[in-house]
Amino acid sequence: MATANARQRARESPVKVTAVLSVIGYVLVLGTFAGILPIYPSIGRGTVNLLSDAIAVVNTVATVSLALGWYWIRNGEVQKHRAAMITSFSLILVFLALYLTKVGGSGGEKHILVEGFVYYAYLIMLAIHIILSVVSVPVVLYALVLGLTHTPAELRETAHAKVGKIAASAWILSLSLGVITYVMLNHIYGWTIPA
């Protein structure tokens, strides 16, 4: 009964639900980066590396799932699309848990040890990745809320398809750049966590 009521409220007010979920996500991330959420265990470099590897795997699988979801909806395979998008979102929640544990437990972020053109290319890719990650949160959540609260026939009367294209495009690019910068940071060049 409570689930049905929550679904109905989300259906009636998808923008409000999206706003609330976005704010919760932003507060969690900003609170972790600011060090004001003492909920993470202290972790060493070995765990930081393990979490970095796990995050890259999760993001790679999420990217493939998103691309498949996009492919399937373009071919009219609604149930496969839905499953792929729910899988992608679930993987992003796993990513978030791993990433916040890594940042909150290590006391900071890794910094790449490279100079010159490669350094600036890395920073540009990282900046695009971060900006798209931040901006796409409400767009992805809005598409998800609509998708979970409406039937496929009803979705045709909403902004789901239009918003979904924007969300998937931003999300795929952000995740891809995240994996590329991960490879550069962890497997091509060295890194440090500044004091």
* Domains located in the chain, CATH noted: 2-192 (1.20.120)
Q: Which two tokens stand for residue 88?
A: 């992608």
Q: Which two tokens stand for residue 147?
A: 């998708």
Q: How far is CA 122 from CA 61, 115, 195, in A?
A: 22, 10, 21
CB atoms within 10 A of CB 32: 20
CB 147 within 8 A of CB 160: yes
pLDDT value, residue 181: 95
CB 162 within 8 A of CB 139: no
The closest alpha carbon to 55, from 133, 121, 147, belongs to: 133
pLDDT, one tens digit per residue, over 106-144 is 766 778 999 999 999 999 999 999 999 999 999 999 999
pLDDT, one tens digit per residue, over 133-175 is 999 999 999 999 999 999 999 999 999 999 999 999 999 999 9
**pTM attached to this predicted model:** 0.88
The closest alpha carbon to 108, from 165, 28, 32, 41, belongs to: 32
SS3 174: helix
Helix 2-12 and helix 116-149: axis angle, to 10°?
Answer: 110
Q: Which two tokens stand for residue 111?
A: 């910094």
pLDDT, one tens digit per residue, over 62-106 is 999 999 999 999 999 999 999 999 999 999 999 999 999 998 887
